[in-house]
Amino acid sequence: MNEEMGLLIQLQRIDTHLSKFNEKEQQYKKKIEIEGQNLESLKIKLREIQIQLEKTAKEKKEKEKETEIQEQGIQKTQSHLKEIKNNKEYQAHLNEIDALKKGLGALEDVVLFLMDKMEVLKNEAALHEAEFKEQETKFLETVKEIEKEISRLLEEKSQFEEERKKVSGQANKKILAQYEHLLASKKGTAILALNGTTCPGCHMNLPPQLIAEVKRNDKMLTCSHCYRILYWQEIYFPKTA
């Protein structure tokens, strides 16, 4: 049983390392995901400003066209003035010209407003584009570094996986199946070192009889509460003087 317990202790050590590798790998991937989302948000914001700028430019062009038509209307109405003999009709044309000029003035004000708006949007777009490019460069550098780190982790992880294959191949199949079940159901901890009166896994007090049997180390025993496999720490990891 000593040999079997020793194999399980080795497996737990290996599996703890593998669990940490997996956790670290997920953390790295999550970091890439979050930073990628932040970059995408900047890209979306930049595109929103660009769309707003395009719409404003289109509106300005339309208003300039309206201004041109209004100017043509004024010129046409003014050209008719010399042909009019009737004072009443003449006054009506003057009133029409005055109304057209007021409309022209309002259109010109709108064009000026849109020009100012475009200038603001252009500056805003330039700032957001610069920020996006800066963050994109940083993101690509981060991805490169993280991919290097993940590659290193996977290489180290593969060594532990190879070691696990060798160790598990030496273990009793029935005992290994029990260990694997506990590993899956107990959050990655199937076997624990006991050096007191409480289980290190569930922190419950253990019966003195069970503790004495664990110390004898002649059979496989489990916690009476959480069912994790127990071994006496000093037997496998004796204190050095």
Write out pLDDT tens, residues 132-185.
Answer: 999 999 999 999 999 999 999 999 999 999 999 999 999 999 999 999 999 999
**Stated pTM of the model:** 0.74
Q: In terms of C-beta density within 10 A (0-12 exposed, 13-18 middle, 19 or more buried), how is residue 166 classed?
A: exposed
DSSP-derived letter for residue 231 is: E
- For the chain, domains (ranges, CATH) are 20-158 (1.10.287.1490), 174-236 (no CATH)
Residue type at 158 in one-letter notation: S
- Tell whether the model's pLDDT for residue 195 goes beyond 60: yes
* pLDDT, mean of residues 34-61: 97
CA 158, CA 140: separation in Å to the nearest integer?
27
CA separation for the pair 228, 223 (Å, rounded) = 5
pLDDT at 45 over 80: yes
Average confidence (pLDDT) over 196-222? 95
User: With DSSP H G I counted as helix, E B as strand and the rest as coil, what are the percentages for the chain, rounded to 5?
Assistant: 80, 5, 15
